[in-house]
């Protein structure tokens, strides 16, 4: 959530950022925030004044009673009662204005970093780099949804029987390569200095609000009505919420956590050839990295996270590219996002497998995640921290690309780095 004082003091900067995002009615929404804020401040000032008068009258009553001036004391009591009634009305108005202000603030997305390119859609994203050679497959090459049938490693029909569409059943070598990738991704994160976390996979509403899934994405989340809990769309949510309402000592920064979880997304309205097979699922496995940083270090951390994800793709021998998302294609809470896409040789298209984002103070403001940071000019000043997260990696499309890019007449070759984890070199 944007900080109110920033909007108040940087109106034009806020409007420019929202326009870059193509946020509808930016001027009207910002003006609404500033109007309610002014009403709130005026009401707070009036309330403080009335409370001061009430306290003064209360002190006056005691003095009058001690002096034996009952008539004046009774008059003062009458005035005090009126002031108390007025203060109650003002307090009620203030609470409503604060609620109204919060309701509008949570609808405003994060402001984009200066490096975010202009653009409205994915077509306008900037290609930062491309790595690796795209494999050339024979004409007989098949997409992964045919290969999984051929080698009997994933069963979508069985998943439909048990749960519904988008919940595949991994079998035999399919299950083993899933486990291999999870362990490989976790081990690589541990080598890079991350601490492993195994969080819950259901969260409450406060957690969804803290990382920005609520009230923006409730339509894409599975909801357990009776218990008022949400199945997580990513491990970012529970891991980041570990630090909700926390003041982190400066000595504990940076925080670097990694966690594996199943993830759940309703993906309402998704259909067509581009979501066939493993391209889009309702349940999938993912390893997530989360960092909490001092503001001045967060963009260096973002580049480090991008390089970490790229190193995984290089070790998996997958051709990939890195995109810097444009203003119109960024997530609601992000200030800057890099997407990593791998080349699917059989489908002849790029598949997104990771998003690495810096949220700056947007999530931290919701989470009330702060630290006293010593700047060398006296006692440390309390300030919001920066949060970052990234997929490292999401498994389904990685597996799809491994299957498609490595198919041979003898079977599907397993990347060398995964062989020690899965115990076989070929799916045949």
Binding-site residues for L-serine: 234, 265, 288, 389
Q: How far apart (Å, rounded) are the C-alpha atoms in residues 213 and 131? A: 32
Cβ atoms of 302 and 336 closer than 8 Å? yes
Annotated binding site: 234, 265-267, 288, 352-355, 389
* 172 backbone dihedrals φ, ψ, rounded to 5°: 50, -125
Of all helices (H) and strands (E), which one includes residue 54?
Answer: helix 26-67
Q: Check if the beta carbon of residue 393 is closer than 8 Å to that of residue 356.
A: no
Sequence-distant (≥ 6) Cβ neighbours of residue 59 within 8 angstroms: none
Do 215 and 372 form a contact (C-beta atoms < 8 A)?
no
Cβ count within 10 A of residue 205: 15
Cβ neighbours of residue 38 under 8 Å, at least 6 residues apart?
none
Side-chain-facing half-sphere of 287: CA atoms under 13 Å: 25
Cβ atoms 332, 110 nearer than 8 A: yes
Phi-psi region of 267 (alpha: psi -120 to 50; beta: other; left: phi over 0): left
Using alpha carbons only, give the angle 175, 179, 180 rounded to the nearest 5 degrees. Answer: 115
Rounded Cα distance, 93 and 292, in Å? 37
> How many whole angstroms separate alpha carbon 384 and alpha carbon 332?
19
Render 191-213 in DSSP notation, one character per residue: HTTPEE----SEE-HHHHHHTT-
CB-based burial, 376-394: b 16+ in 10 Å, e otherwise? eeeeeeeebbbbbbbbbbb
Q: Give the annotated binding-site residues for ATP.
A: 265-267, 352-355
293 touches 254 (CB < 8 A): yes
CB-count exposure of residue 236 (10 Å: 0-12, 13-18, 19+): buried
Measuring CA to CA, which residue among 263, 260, 149, 279 is closest to residue 217?
A: 263
């Amino acid at each position: 959530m944007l900080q109110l004082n920033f909007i108040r003091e940087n109106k034009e900067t806020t409007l420019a950022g929202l326009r870059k995002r193509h946020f509808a009615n930016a001027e009207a929404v910002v003006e609404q925030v500033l109007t309610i804020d002014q009403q709130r401040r005026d009401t707070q000032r009036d309330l403080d004044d009335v409370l001061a008068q009430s306290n003064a009258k209360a002190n006056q009553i005691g003095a009058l009673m001690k002096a034996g001036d009952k008539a004046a004391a009774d008059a003062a009591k009458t005035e005090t009662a009126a002031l108390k009634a007025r203060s109650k009305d003002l307090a009620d108005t203030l609470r409503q204005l604060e609620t109204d202000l919060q309701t509008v603030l949570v609808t405003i997305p994060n402001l984009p970093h200066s490096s975010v390119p202009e653009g409205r859609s994915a077509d306008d994203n900037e290609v930062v780099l491309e790595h690796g050679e795209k494999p050339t497959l024979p004409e007989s090459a098949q997409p992964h949804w045919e290969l999984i049938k051929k080698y009997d490693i994933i069963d979508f029909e069985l998943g439909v029987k048990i749960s519904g569409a988008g919940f595949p059943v991994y079998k035999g070598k399919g299950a083993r390569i899933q486990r291999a990738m999870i362990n490989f991704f976790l081990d690589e994160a541990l080598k890079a200095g991350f601490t492993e976390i195994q969080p819950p996979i259901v969260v409450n509403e406060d957690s969804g609000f803290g990382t920005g899934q609520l009230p923006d994405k409730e339509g894409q989340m599975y909801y357990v009505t009776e218990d008022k809990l949400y199945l997580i769309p990513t491990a970012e949510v529970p891991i980041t919420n570990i630090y909700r309402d926390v003041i982190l000592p400066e000595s504990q920064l940076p925080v670097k956590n990694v966690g594996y979880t199943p993830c759940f997304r309703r993906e309402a309205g998704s259909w067509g050839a581009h979501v066939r097979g493993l391209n889009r699922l309702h349940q999938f496995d993912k390893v997530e990295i989360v960092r909490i940083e001092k503001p001045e270090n967060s963009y260096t951390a973002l580049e480090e996270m991008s390089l970490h994800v790229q190193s995984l793709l290089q070790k998996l021998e997958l051709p990939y590219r890195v995109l810097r998302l444009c203003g119109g294609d960024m997530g609601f809470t992000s200030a800057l996002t890099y997407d990593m896409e791998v080349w699917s040789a059989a489908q002849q298209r790029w598949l997104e497998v990771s998003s690495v984002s810096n949220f700056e103070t947007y999530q931290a403001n919701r989470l009330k995640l702060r630290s006293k940071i010593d700047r060398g000019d006296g006692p440390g000043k309390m300030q919001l921290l920066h949060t970052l997260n990234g997929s490292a990696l999401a498994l389904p499309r990685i597996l799809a690309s491994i299957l498609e890019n490595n198919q041979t007449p003898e079977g599907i070759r397993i990347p060398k780095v995964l062989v020690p984890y899965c115990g076989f070199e070929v799916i045949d």
